[in-house]
Structure 1
Amino acid sequence: MTNGTNAPTALTRRDTLRLASLFAASTLAGDLIGGSAAHAATPGTLVVAAPGTPQSLDNEFDGSLGTIDAIGQLYDSLVAYKKIPDPKVPGVLRENIVDDPSLPGDADLEGRLAESWEVAPDGMMLRLRLRKGVKSNWGNELTAEDVKWTWDRKFALNAIGGFQVGLMDLASPDAVKVEDRYTVSFHPTHPNPIMLKIQTHRYANIFDSTKCKEMATAEDPWARKFLESNSAGFGPYSLKSLVRGQQAVFTARPDYYLGKPAIDTIIYKEVPTSATRTALLQGGAVDIAQALQPLEIKQLGKAPGVKIETVDASSMMWIILNAKVAPFDKPEVRQAMNYAFPRDAVIASVFQNIASPMKGCMPSIYPGYSDAFDQYSLDLDKAKALLAEAGLPDGFKVEIAYNAGDPVQEPIALLFQSSLRKIGVELVLRKVPAGTYFNEVSAKKLPMLFFVDAPWTADPVFALRLYFYSKSFVDYSNYANPKVDEMIEAGSQMTDLAKRTELMLEIQKIVMADAPWVFVASPNFTMARRDKVEGFTYYTSNSINFADFSVKA
């Protein structure tokens, strides 16, 4: 669920910028990026400059941006949110994630692989009826057995899918039942209010079990080796080729059940540095440039032939405060760190106002969110008083780790360091290589680390349980509040939307006061593309679906 990438480069920044100019300005570009420059901004081909190619095509084991994008093209989910116009940016669509208690699962959904669904009033059953005649990229028809095998695999591998199993409250594989060839049902142990919403998750895609079983072996019964570099799905594109570190090529499926996508070929290029991706887009060698830095986005906003659209998003950046490492075992110290954080300066200078201050502990765009419990405007006197209350009137020394692969983290850390110095706290900066950074986060041992993430299911139960439930593997702050755990467990079984929303607000109030994070920013999602490319739709997974796009001739 973290949009990180491991894409090292031996080039210096100066060399990279020179190379970018050559890419954009000379006929050499076509050779250097595999001939894609000749096809950029044409109706048949879309060229994307991304930080990295898919590290794996198996959604159980990788959450990098390249993998997230690839999963969305090769696979499909059972249901999806309906789309509505973005309220702030004309011409952009986004998912309608507003809760609607008049609808099954409180969600405004449309069918994908499923054509209809029903949720039992007591929250003890979800039934989905599949479309008939849907074929995978291998030509096998979708059946309920594919859904069953997909969830059996989640149980067996107990990786990313294991978290989904837990949220669905499924006791065993027997809780997923094949009722007939085209009907499947889920039976949680307790009432479950979000089991339908979980089916919208980017990684709730369905596998072609016929092909996977064909490729499985006794040593590899779940076809892990095959699915790491190949696809077996029902999505709009198939994989033509994948050369990790270079590019992935996707081709539109003429037999896709929702109709052949408008763009025939997607060339997904690995371009490790943001500066190079910026130059390639500006020069016209690529059609879309992903994951650009704020100053580069500002620069591209003035470039001819380039279109920039930035929208409110689910992504959040925070600083982990490890509650098991002194002095962050004291809530007063964690609160003091928030009062000393120069949030407004970070938004203005580092993010160039292409972000919002983070005023809550879940995405601000999600239903049930509230900023009413934010109390952490910059107040150094308050911060010093809290440190004295915690027995640290002279401050302390602490290390903060930041990701070398994310250029905004170091300047944020430097601003924070300067502010903390005024209250007697010495912040020591430690740069961690991008390839090993997540290992440091998941180890849960360092006192302070930057983290960027988004909960992909647009629901407060999902978001709050992901980060603040002490039994969650994503509780990287080692935060443990028995009352919060009890309330999260209760909310996970509460089918009454109004009561559940009220309970989730109380959890947000407690978490904000406990301050397991320094609440940094909610970065916008920015689509940077050539102006001939149309069809941008924002998804809470902060990734793109190539089938949405078309290119003007």
Structure 2
Amino acid sequence: MDRRTLLKGSAAAGGLAAFGGTLGAFLPGPMGARNAFAASPPHTLVIASPATPQSLDSEFDVSLGTFEAIAACYDSLVEFAKIPAPADPDAQREDIADYPDKPGRVNMVGKLAESWEIAPDSSWIKFKLREGVKSNWGNELTAEDVVWTWHRKLGLEAIGAFFANTISFIRPDQIKAEGKYVVSLTLDNPNPLLLKIQPNLYSPIYDSVKCKEMATDDDPWAKKFLENNTAGFGPYQITQLVRGQQCVFEARDDYYRGKPYMHTVIMKEVPTSANRAQLLQGGAVDIAQYLQPLELIRLSKAPGVAVDTIPATFMLWIELNAKIKPFDNVDVRRAMNFAFPQEQVLKTVFQDLAQPLNGALPAFYPGFNEKYYEFHKQDLAQAKELLKKAGMADGFKTVLSYNAGDPVQEPTAILYQSALKEIGVDLQLRKVPAATFYNFVSQREQPMIFYYDSPWCPDPGYSMNLYFHSKSFVNYSNYTNAKVDELIDAAARTADNDARLEMMDEVQKIVMKEAPWVFVAFTNYSMARREDLKGWTYYTSNNIRFQDFYRDA
């Protein structure tokens, strides 16, 4: 699969002027000249990003910038082993293949956990933690930190509760400290995701000592503290956060894996894609995130710049809110898909650097099946027939909200608006500031809204649960189908991999027929960097981890 693309928007006001044309205002130490701009010191990494972190609490925010901060300041118990990225000698990626002969069917290495045991049917797991690991507050990692972290997921009933539900972790007593450095998690039923969910970016382990210190009777899970501070065992700590401007990370000297090569990381908010590309080409930054297709093409030919492209888990779609008429009608949702000018969007907006989103999970995940996708070609006649069948032959009026920080959404929306006029649908467009766009999505109050996301666990059951279970936090289309819920729940309770794949295939068949989304595009993750910057690894969570990078000697 040859997909090369693109974008995940999220930003606040600002631009090149906020950079002051130079990095001298915020780079420490002496700086040499690189073209017309100041270059980073060897152990400083400078990133032009659409947005700085909003909240620092992984329970409530998955916006761009926030998950980069989570990856820098926290660690999980285990991680997928890394392998060379196909056709890219400068990159690595996670090994997410299925390994029937390995525990939990995955190729894992330890992080905060140095070893583990897991039941053959994945009904329980026991971790032995590394001893002597310290948080950014100086507190030692113990089993109580792991226990408190999972109790917090249940207590807050937010994103972490979704992860808990995915593995049928529903009661606090299912996780126990067996000793100072040993913790066990026991399920009522087998669950094949028990180990596979642990490396998820949003399964970090918290310093419970610090969090309890900052908790109050009204805030027992330290939400207010963790919104603006970190309490983790990761390689970096935040030394400055000015939302809308920049976030500065400093490497920890006492990190248990050794101090990272990049001692200082400066994430500078540059909302405009063109300005981010200009700063990278001029040498003012080391990485420019989330650029437009034409900019990526141009930068790939620029001296001193490298562009890596990796098939990714990114999916772009439009949520059709099943609780808002007329999208409670399956025929209307199908009509909206037949009317979507997908081929035109891929060619003119994505410059042929994306592929059709022809399924409900990433194409390289186990169990993906594209044969249920019906919307290969725009078919306005079929769309009209479906609207007539739904009793809406004269069309209707609705609103599509899009992210002002994502440069592909507006032109895609305009092309869609024109196409829908042909079938009598009056589509009004609503531009939403990037800083508040995620709130618009999560409130589930818009009839139509773009969403750009990816399932961070390489498993079809996880993907289907994430987007289509009626009780999922991330089911932003308010889609409900009792049979889908039943199949997803059943798949989460069996260790029979073949049976799980069969059930998830049936879910895909139902979902694609009922079309809770307008299916737009699969896009690649593209890393635009200075060519002397090495070490990039692609993660299914589609974020960078500062600790991976180093400079070519």
Q: Smaller-chain TM-score range? A: over 0.9
Cα deviation, 1:334-386, whole Å, max 9, x if unaligned, reads: 11221221112211211123322100011223222121211112222322332
Taking the aligned partners of 1:274 and 1:292, their CA distance within structure 2 comes to 5
Q: Helix, strand or coil: the match of 2:65?
A: helix
Of 25, 30, 47, the match for 2:23: 30
Match of 1:412 in 2: 412
Residue 487 of structure 1 and its aligned partner are, at CA, apart by 0.6
Cα deviation, 1:249-288, whole Å, max 9, x if unaligned, reads: 2222233222221222111212222222111111111111
Structure 1 pair 221–508 and aligned structure 2 pair: CA distance change class (3 A): same
In the alignment, structure 1 residue 510 sits paired with structure 2 residue 503: no
Match of 1:447 in 2: 447
In the alignment, structure 1 residue 211 sits paired with structure 2 residue 210: yes
Structure 1 pair 454–327 and aligned structure 2 pair: CA distance change class (3 A): same
Cα deviation, 1:171-226, whole Å, max 9, x if unaligned, reads: 22111111111111112233222121111110111112223333334444333333
Pairs within 5 Å for 1:335-354? 335-354=334-353
Residue 32 of structure 1 and its aligned partner are, at CA, apart by 4.7
Q: Which has the higher helix share?
A: 1
* Structure 1: tracts of 5 or more residues without a match: 10-15, 24-28
Match of 1:471 in 2: 471
Taking the aligned partners of 1:213 and 1:440, their CA distance within structure 2 comes to 32
Match of 1:133 in 2: 132
Letter in 1 for 2:89: P
* Structure 2: tracts of 5 or more residues without a match: 1-6, 33-37
Q: Please identify, of 512-521 and 294-303, the stretch whose mean Cα deviation from structure 2 is larger.
A: 294-303
Taking the aligned partners of 1:295 and 1:102, their CA distance within structure 2 comes to 44
Cα deviation, 1:6-63, whole Å, max 9, x if unaligned, reads: 5123xxxxxx56x49972xxxxx13455568657344211111112222122222221
Cα deviation, 1:119-147, whole Å, max 9, x if unaligned, reads: 22333212111122222223332211111
Taking the aligned partners of 1:42 and 1:34, their CA distance within structure 2 comes to 8
Residue 397 of structure 1 and its aligned partner are, at CA, apart by 2.9
CA RMSD of aligned residues (A): 2.2
Q: Helix, strand or coil: the match of 1:118?
A: strand
Taking the aligned partners of 1:458 and 1:270, their CA distance within structure 2 comes to 30
Match of 1:12 in 2: none
Q: Helix, strand or coil: the match of 1:446?
A: coil
In the alignment, structure 1 residue 5 sits paired with structure 2 residue 4: no
Q: Helix, strand or coil: the match of 2:257?
A: coil
Residue 312 of structure 1 and its aligned partner are, at CA, apart by 1.1
Q: Percentage identity across aligned positions?
A: 56
Q: Which runs of 4+ in 1 moved over 6 A?
A: none
Match of 1:52 in 2: 51
Q: Please identify, of 274-283 and 130-139, the stretch whose mean Cα deviation from structure 2 is larger.
A: 130-139
Taking the aligned partners of 1:111 and 1:452, their CA distance within structure 2 comes to 31
Match of 2:177 in 1: 178
Match of 1:266 in 2: 265
Q: Helix, strand or coil: the match of 1:116?
A: strand
Cα deviation, 1:490-539, whole Å, max 9, x if unaligned, reads: 11112111110111111111111111111001121111111110011111
Pairs within 5 Å for 1:375-394? 375-377=374-376, 378-394=378-394
Match of 2:149 in 1: 150
Taking the aligned partners of 1:216 and 1:473, their CA distance within structure 2 comes to 25
Taking the aligned partners of 2:446 and 2:529, their CA distance within structure 1 comes to 39
Contact 1:69–1:543 under 8 Å retained in 2: yes
Q: Please identify, of 234-243 and 496-505, the stretch whose mean Cα deviation from structure 2 is larger.
A: 234-243
Taking the aligned partners of 1:272 and 1:391, their CA distance within structure 2 comes to 43
Contact 1:176–1:186 under 8 Å retained in 2: yes
Contact 1:88–1:311 under 8 Å retained in 2: no
Q: Helix, strand or coil: the match of 2:86?
A: coil
Residue 290 of structure 1 and its aligned partner are, at CA, apart by 1.1
Cα deviation, 1:383-424, whole Å, max 9, x if unaligned, reads: 233233333334333322222222211110111122222233
Structure 1 pair 237–473 and aligned structure 2 pair: CA distance change class (3 A): closer
| TM-score normalised according to structure 2 size | 0.92
Contact 1:311–1:525 under 8 Å retained in 2: yes
Q: Helix, strand or coil: the match of 1:344?
A: helix
Cα deviation, 1:75-99, whole Å, max 9, x if unaligned, reads: 1100111111222433211111122
Pairs within 5 Å for 1:90-129? 90-129=89-128
Taking the aligned partners of 1:478 and 1:504, their CA distance within structure 2 comes to 19
Q: Helix, strand or coil: the match of 1:393?
A: coil
Contact 1:324–1:478 under 8 Å retained in 2: yes
Match of 2:35 in 1: none
Q: Helix, strand or coil: the match of 1:242?
A: strand
Taking the aligned partners of 2:237 and 2:194, their CA distance within structure 1 comes to 29
